[in-house]
Structure 1
Amino acid sequence: MAASLASLSSSAQAGTRQLFNRHGSHRLPPSNLLLPSSIGKHMITRRRSLRKISALETSDGAVNVEVEEGEEACELVNGTELSIDGVEAYLLTAVKNNNGTGLLLLSDIFGFQDSSTRDFAYRVACNGYNVLVPDLFRGDPWSKNRPESEFEEWRRGQDPDRIRQETTALTKWMVEEFAAAGMSMKLGVMGFCFGGGRVVDVLAADKNGYFSTGVSFYGTRIDSAVAGDVKVPVLFITGDKDPLCQVDGLHEIEEKIGEGSKVVVFEGRGHGFVHRPETPEDDRDADEAFALMRNWLHHHLMNGNQ
């Protein structure tokens, strides 16, 4: 039987790659392992310039985001390709600094194999998390090569009931893996664009209280009718120039969810600026948004584990 999360901590020091094979998942050929572009299969050290970031203004006051001057270093991250109850997914796990906490990351319309999504997931794993990125579109993500006239038909084919059922199954898998490993069963969920909209769906459907928080980056088509069913704080990040994620709508959803949630709006930024930055200004604000997300996750997921 392939190794599970239970062996993660003991084998991390040896630098071995973990494979998972529990409850409907199966091991895929090692040659198919997907890691972020330019990343090899062994020890990786990634460095990124960071600036000191001051407070950001939110819907209910300033949020302090502390980032020291210097470089962000990341060492070994394990990448594993999985099939969980028929849903393909990638799992990225930190090794030396693994904090024993899981995150479900929901992609935009371009799918879980997209380089921007997997690079972001890799960076989150570098911060100690175990990040599961599922295929929300059953092998049929939107492609930039498709005619725009086909988009609405494609979108209607993404059955929200199917996605809810599959994310519920993925959540159960994560909870069982973490329980078997004796690690934290606290989970977080985050998503971009299409996936950012589904963050609210996932949290509203979480009747067992598995998730402790969520982060929605410029979520699209958020169902405000179910927002009142969300029982945990959610961080909403968007740009004021984003036509697909209106700020007023986010504030209404924030009020329905209740105490603890926040909306952070970046001036001048459009859609996708955090995981698809296109300008130096996007890069600057993407770093701020990442730091804000990181501190938010640490507060809501890690404080109770220390």
Structure 2
Amino acid sequence: MAASLASLSSLAKAGAPRSLFNRHGSHRLPPPQIIPLASSIMFCQIKKHITTSFYRRGSSLKNIYALETSDGAINVEVDDDEEEEACELVNGTEVSVDGVEGYLLTAVKNNNGTGLLLLSDVFGFQDSATRDFAYRVACNGYNVLVPDLFRGDPWSKNRPKSEYEEWRRGHDPNRIRQDTTTFTKWMVEEFAAAGISKKLGVMGFCFGGGRVVDVLATDESGYFSTGVSFYGTRIDSAVAGDVKVPVLFIAGDRDPLCEVKGLYEIEEKIGEGSKVVVYEGRGHGFVHRPETPEDDRDAEEAFALMRNWLHHHLI
């Protein structure tokens, strides 16, 4: 069945007090609707709607600040406010684009009209750590689309490590690249239907962080205006010179899967505007899978850096 999310055209009108992907004007998710997209070249099936409230204990997002000074240094301040942070009115929608599953999170209130493609680590788009992070990003006004890079076959923590390389070889990089392109074009179509011309951002963790460079290097249509790579693995430095937009690289200096030296080389190839931020003492996955209080604090700072970076380049 050819279908799309609800039409966004009414949002393009000046002053329209409506949220992206919600044509009903209500700040609560309406009953699911399937509405044909008149000129769609792809197929999307809306599978399930979820209205989510996100709560966490710790430093409030609005009390975390990361500022870049004129000399390029990064200053981060975290206000230790222990009040509960509540992020309500984020809609979660399971979608299928050309037969590939995905998860779309949209900010229902104060939506900024900007989309982000989030590429998961090897544990897939349904992993709780990835979805929790996507919720936090959506809480800041973004529309976050998380595709299933592994088509129902993510890596499992219960599988023997000896099987990893065989599993990885079973996921063709060209197929993954094509799937990310398909999801990107789908997002662009939805924005175009709303008369919104803002470009997109792409971010990823680990496996997905490595694919951020691939996506940007092959973005011939110029859909993306920035990228964020968290401790990306197996980054193809040979294509870094084809990236035309600034990229923020975040990593730990004790991460054997993402060497800092290699990131600086990639940053140099991409050119002016990109930045590498390294956290001392941090290992792999510390931002979206913090395991210690030290990881947690640095994860908060890294989130603030990412948030300010996205705001600067997309809003």
Does TM-score exceed 0.5, indicating one fold? yes
The aligned counterpart of 1:27 is 46
- Say yes or no: does 1:50 pair with 2:59: yes
> CA shift at 1:237, angstroms?
0.2
> CA shift at 1:63, angstroms?
2.1
> CA shift at 1:4, angstroms?
2.2
Counterpart Cα distance in 2 of 1:179 and 1:235: 27
Question: Residues 147, 56 of structure 1: CA spacing in aligned structure 2 closer, same or farther, 3 A cutoff?
Answer: farther
> CA shift at 1:12, angstroms?
4.7
| % identity of equivalent residues | 76
Q: How many residues align?
A: 291
The aligned counterpart of 2:13 is none
Counterpart Cα distance in 2 of 1:171 and 1:10: 22
> CA shift at 1:157, angstroms?
1.2
> CA shift at 1:81, angstroms?
0.6
Counterpart Cα distance in 1 of 2:199 and 2:78: 25
Q: For structure 1, list consecutive stretches of 5 or more residues without a partner in the other structure.
A: 34-40
Within-5 A mapping of 1:178-197: 178-197=191-210
Question: Residues 50, 175 of structure 1: CA spacing in aligned structure 2 closer, same or farther, 3 A cutoff?
Answer: same
Question: Residues 81, 20 of structure 1: CA spacing in aligned structure 2 closer, same or farther, 3 A cutoff?
Answer: farther
The aligned counterpart of 2:259 is 246
The aligned counterpart of 1:226 is 239
Map Cα deviations across residues 139-177 of structure 1 (whole Å, 9 max, x no partner).
Answer: 100001111111011111111111111111111110010
Counterpart Cα distance in 2 of 1:97 and 1:5: 18
8 Å CA contact retained: 1:55, 1:62: no
8 Å CA contact retained: 2:66, 2:301: no
TM-score when normalising by structure 2: 0.86
The aligned counterpart of 1:62 is 73
Moved more, 229-238 or 184-193: 184-193
Within-5 A mapping of 1:110-259: 110-259=123-272
8 Å CA contact retained: 2:117, 2:201: yes
TM-score when normalising by structure 1: 0.88
8 Å CA contact retained: 1:56, 1:64: yes
8 Å CA contact retained: 1:179, 1:185: no
8 Å CA contact retained: 1:277, 1:286: yes
> CA shift at 1:179, angstroms?
0.8
Counterpart Cα distance in 2 of 1:68 and 1:265: 21
Q: For structure 2, list consecutive stretches of 5 or more residues without a partner in the other structure.
A: 11-20
Counterpart Cα distance in 1 of 2:106 and 2:267: 31
Q: CA RMSD in A?
A: 2.2
